[in-house]
Structure 1
């Protein structure tokens, strides 16, 4: 299967930026940051976008895996948290500017139970590109998935 390119272009001043995602349907979004990091907090920060990318990529990958496993899915609910020590990012201290830890709590309505649900979660995390970016970055990554009955 050929690779699929993902292309963004951006412009900005200071710490604020407008981003355009290229493709068949162009999409636009803005990024800023908290005042403590020099921004006006007028748009989500890139770090918030990374956590949103993580949860949405999990949901997309879950649909692909569910189809392969022959299980049904309903609504999802996610809470993702990234703990960042800003001393490297803001103050220039030695070390890694990455999150120290990322945790994901997920709930999904499904007909999968027991071992089937466990297999579903393991496979979606293995196949999710954004989950793999986080896991392979060396930070402490944990996720908890809870099945809920289909409504």
Structure 2
């Protein structure tokens, strides 16, 4: 029996190879994007590429931008320039020392500013719908960490 996925399912696949803690990853698909992940020297790496933890935080910000762009289209609002500042606080006692507990981030804070022509009400809906629909936000929220998601609306400059 062949299992057929839902028509709306899009697979995301990555192939990784490496030695030590350095890994080269290739994203499946026509573009075949290649990227690397390494670790800080304290974690056994050479810091020659971003840590997987930076990729996790970066995935959160970029997925929010992609999701919000889809939500904005449905709301009929325009978005302009984005800025993100994100930080994850990780107690390394479990990761490095093998202590009992949760190896997850304790807290992740995301501060977002986006230019938009949205009203305050539309902006509030943009933020809440983005949080609900963003796969990476949901991954973080459902992991049990404290997630601070603070969005600021900036005026969209007039079109030239």
Normalization by structure 2: what TM-score? 0.93
Runs of 5+ in structure 2 lacking a partner? 1-6
Secondary structure of the residue aligned to 2:74 is helix
Correspondence 1:114 to 2:117: no
Secondary structure of the residue aligned to 2:25 is strand
Q: Please name the residue that 1:36 is paired with.
A: 42
Number of aligned residue pairs: 151
The 2-side partners of 1:125 and 1:14 are apart by 36
Asked if the contact 1:113/1:147 (under 8 Å) is kept, the reply is no
Secondary structure of the residue aligned to 1:53 is helix
134, 151, 159: which one aligns with 1:145: 151
Normalization by structure 1: what TM-score? 0.98
Runs of 5+ in structure 1 lacking a partner? none
Runs of 4+ in 1 over 3 A off after TM superposition: none
Correspondence 1:68 to 2:68: no
1:39-118 equivalence runs, <5 A: 39-118=45-124
The 2-side partners of 1:114 and 1:44 are apart by 37
The 2-side partners of 1:62 and 1:101 are apart by 22
